[in-house]
Amino acid sequence: MVCGGFACSKNCLCALNLLYTLVSLLLIGIAAWGIGFGLISSFRVVGVAIAVGIFLFFIALVGLIGAVKHHQVLLFFYMIILLLVFIVQFSVSCACLALNKEQQSQLLEVGWNNTKSARTDLERNLNCCGFRFFDPNETCSSDCFRSHQCQPCAPIIEEYSGMVLRFVGGIGLFFSFTEILGVWLTYRYRNQKDPRANPSAFL
């Protein structure tokens, strides 16, 4: 039996937004955990993760309040924002899955050259120095630098980059389909009459 009633649509929309709330809190918690244990020192990386988590939390909150109160304005803005997020996330996910080895290597090198603090974290955690080649005259925070027998970081990072991009692309693709499901549920729910409301009331 297809879920088409008012109560079922409301419950599905609430459940979806509770899922988004948990994901947003998990994202913020992982970023805080990375800072607390010294795994990530890049303020830019942590700031982006926390900003995305807070943004997702507010979207879920708007959707949850709109679903509980059957608030037409909140549901309209929630639907529009979720549709825009779907377009961006779907595009990024497809790009992550479509990158070949050469494009991944170029992208990693650009990221390496533009994020000094993240570069330091990678050198320390992967125990490597430099991107393409090791230069003993440059400073490096890895343990192998003391013996000057470090290997470059590019081969180590590229070994896992394809798997990480496929994982990120797959997760993003999954959540993009939940977002389009949310848009459809919201559109349908907005046009349904609350059975407990005054039958002559305007929606």
Closest CA to 12 of 137, 194, 181: 181
Q: What is the mean pLDDT of each run of 10 residues along the chain (203 residues)?
A: 70 91 86 62 67 89 90 91 91 83 79 73 79 76 76 79 81 88 89 64 44
Which amino acid, residue 174? F
Note the pLDDT of residue 65: 92
Note the pLDDT of residue 45: 62
Note the pLDDT of residue 1: 40
pTM: predicted TM-score of the whole model, two decimal places: 0.72
For the record, the structure tokens of 46 come out as 């942590």
Note the pLDDT of residue 201: 46
CA distance 147 to 150: 8
